[in-house]
A and B are shown apart, each in its own frame.
Chain A
Amino acid sequence: MEPLSIKSPQPTTFDALLKGLWKENPVFVQVLGMCPVLAVTNTVINSIVMGLATMFVLVASSIFVSALRHVIPRQVRIATYILIIATFVTMADYVIPAISLEVHRSLGAFVSLIVVNCVILGRAEAFSSKNTIGRSVLDALGMGTGFTIAILCLGVVRELLGSGTILGVPVFGPSFEPWSVMVLPGGAFFVLGAWLLLFSWLRERKKVEPGTVEVARPKTPRVR
């Protein structure tokens, strides 16, 4: 598993929510939870449902882990976190087919595999086990939204190019020849690579631009 916490100075409450969207985006920055990111982003609807299910598990398990953070002995914390996470994943696995059998069929085994999504265990270990319930929920919401947006980014591109549709609605004319590779695993790697490239490039650009917080800090003492 990846290093779990990215050290940052004690963030404000608002920061706890926002950092998951951009600065510590679980997919594009921490590169966690790659299994669902690659496997179920072949259509937009799959991405949305997977993102929402992950966010539900993330928020619910954060509440539990945070509420029990003084009770859980250090030695069995991972086992307890997994137990809590597995409970909510199984709940999601019941709720999804109750709403739509079709979507559950297309997600296949990947709903159950949310249990081993590093983003969730990572947040439990790195954040909710050390913070109040309120802050943990904000953090989970931020990370969950960041994760959902990220897999939606992949889903939109892959469905558009791989099937020529968005949410099943044809976008291009009938003459469009779908790029089958995009809905296959190989396409997932291509699209993920392209998005990672774009986001890394944007971050690099932001760093060299003058006036941003990130450069201002190291430079100021030297000027003085």
Chain B
Amino acid sequence: MTEVPTTNRTQSPGSGKMILVMGGVGLIASVLLVGTFRVTSPYIEENRRIFLENAIYDVVPGAASMIPLTVDGDVVETAVDIKSASLFAGFDESGRLAGLAIEASGQGYQDVVSILFGYAPDCRCVVGMRVLESKETPGLGDKIEKDPAFLENFEALDVTLSADRMRLANEIEMVKSGSKTERWQIEAITGATVSSRAITRMIARQAAEMIPVVERNLDRVREMR
């Protein structure tokens, strides 16, 4: 039925040679890739670690050392390594707990945005925020990373617990630029409302979930030092 035209048959080098060439090129390619991966991966890991550590020290003012933690149900445990941690305890030079850095993520305007925010038990407030990963629109949405007025929102954001210590006394909410009246409000960036709301939502959700747990485990965490 399916007859190959004779002209093609004579010109064709046969599938054996094609497979051989492609297989050979593939083999060389895999050797090159494995080699590159082995050489570069320690540097990449190291860069990632430095980046995360810097972010932790940025959001927990006064921290000089840190311990990675994980949350298992209602108990905060020490994490095996920095990669599997979702929570970091920062201690100052005298060994006192300066604060905790908490990871949060959520849908932004373009893609998932992940952030790290600092919680200080002394003032019961969020004391810093850094964007870890974002693909927000350059020039507009990416202002969540560097706009000083926006970042100021996270220098003393109130997250006091309610009387039963199970939730936040006041839910974190977003307001228009220039209309902040309460300590638990976040002022949006004009022209980047979607990105601002994304940050507000992920902080509000994660703070409401994690801070009661953290508060219950505070003494435990202090001992870990």
* Minimal beta-carbon separation of B182 from chain A (angstroms): 31
Query: CB distance A95 to B36 under 8 Å?
Result: yes
Query: CB distance A73 to B17 under 8 Å?
Result: yes
- The contact string, 1 if C-beta is below 8 Å from chain A, for chain B 88-132, is 000000000000000000000000000000000000000000000
Does B1 have its Cβ within 8 Å of any Cβ on chain A?
no
Query: CB distance B44 to A184 under 8 Å?
Result: no
Query: CB distance B43 to A84 under 8 Å?
Result: no
Question: Pick the contact of A90 from B12, B33, B191 — CB < 8 Å?
Answer: B33
On chain A, the residues within 8 Å of B33 by CB distance are 87, 90-91
Query: CB distance A75 to B29 under 8 Å?
Result: no
Instruction: State in angstroms the CA–CA spacing of A84 and B48 once bound together.
Output: 29
The B interface is mostly helix, strand or loop, or mixed, namely helix
Which residue from chain B places its CB closest to the CB of A84 in the assembled complex? B25
On chain A, the residues within 8 Å of B138 by CB distance are 42, 183-184
* Minimal beta-carbon separation of A59 from chain B (angstroms): 14
Question: Pick the contact of A180 from B32, B43, B133, B139 — CB < 8 Å?
Answer: B139
Q: Number of contacting residues on B, CB 8 A?
A: 29
* Minimal beta-carbon separation of B224 from chain A (angstroms): 29
Query: CB distance B139 to A163 under 8 Å?
Result: yes
Query: CB distance A83 to B22 under 8 Å?
Result: yes
Does A211 have its Cβ within 8 Å of any Cβ on chain B?
no
Question: Pick the contact of B29 from A71, A84, A95, A99 — CB < 8 Å?
Answer: A84
Instruction: State in angstroms the CA–CA spacing of A88 and B138 once bound together.
Output: 28
On chain B, the residues within 8 Å of A83 by CB distance are 22, 25-26, 29
Query: CB distance B44 to A76 under 8 Å?
Result: no
On chain B, the residues within 8 Å of A105 by CB distance are 133
Does A108 have its Cβ within 8 Å of any Cβ on chain B?
yes
Query: CB distance A91 to B47 under 8 Å?
Result: no
Which residue from chain B places its CB closest to the CB of A181 in the assembled complex? B139
Query: CB distance A87 to B32 under 8 Å?
Result: yes
* Minimal beta-carbon separation of A141 from chain B (angstroms): 21
Query: CB distance A76 to B140 under 8 Å?
Result: no
Question: Pick the contact of B40 from A42, A73, A95, A163 — CB < 8 Å?
Answer: A95
- The contact string, 1 if C-beta is below 8 Å from chain B, for chain A 118-149, is 00000000000000000000000000000000
On chain B, the residues within 8 Å of A94 by CB distance are 36-37, 40-41, 44
| A interface residues, Cβ below 8 angstroms from B | 42, 64, 68, 71-73, 75-76, 79-80, 83-84, 86-88, 90-91, 94-95, 97-101, 105, 108, 162-163, 178, 180, 182-184
| B interface residues, Cβ below 8 angstroms from A | 12-13, 17-18, 21-22, 25-26, 28-29, 32-33, 36-37, 39-41, 43-44, 47-48, 51, 133, 135, 137-140, 191
* Shortest beta-carbon contacts, A-B, top 8: A98-B43, A183-B139, A87-B29, A98-B40, A94-B40, A101-B47, A91-B36, A73-B13
Task: Name 29 A/B residue pairs within 8 A (Cβ), A-sorted.
Answer: A42-B138, A68-B21, A68-B25, A72-B21, A76-B22, A79-B22, A80-B25, A83-B25, A83-B29, A84-B29, A86-B29, A87-B28, A87-B29, A87-B33, A90-B33, A91-B32, A91-B33, A91-B36, A98-B39, A98-B40, A98-B41, A98-B44, A98-B47, A100-B47, A101-B44, A101-B48, A108-B135, A162-B139, A180-B140
- Other than the given A83-B22, A184-B137, 14 more pairs (CB < 8 A) read A68-B25, A72-B21, A83-B25, A84-B25, A94-B40, A94-B41, A95-B36, A95-B40, A98-B39, A98-B40, A98-B47, A180-B139, A184-B138, A184-B139
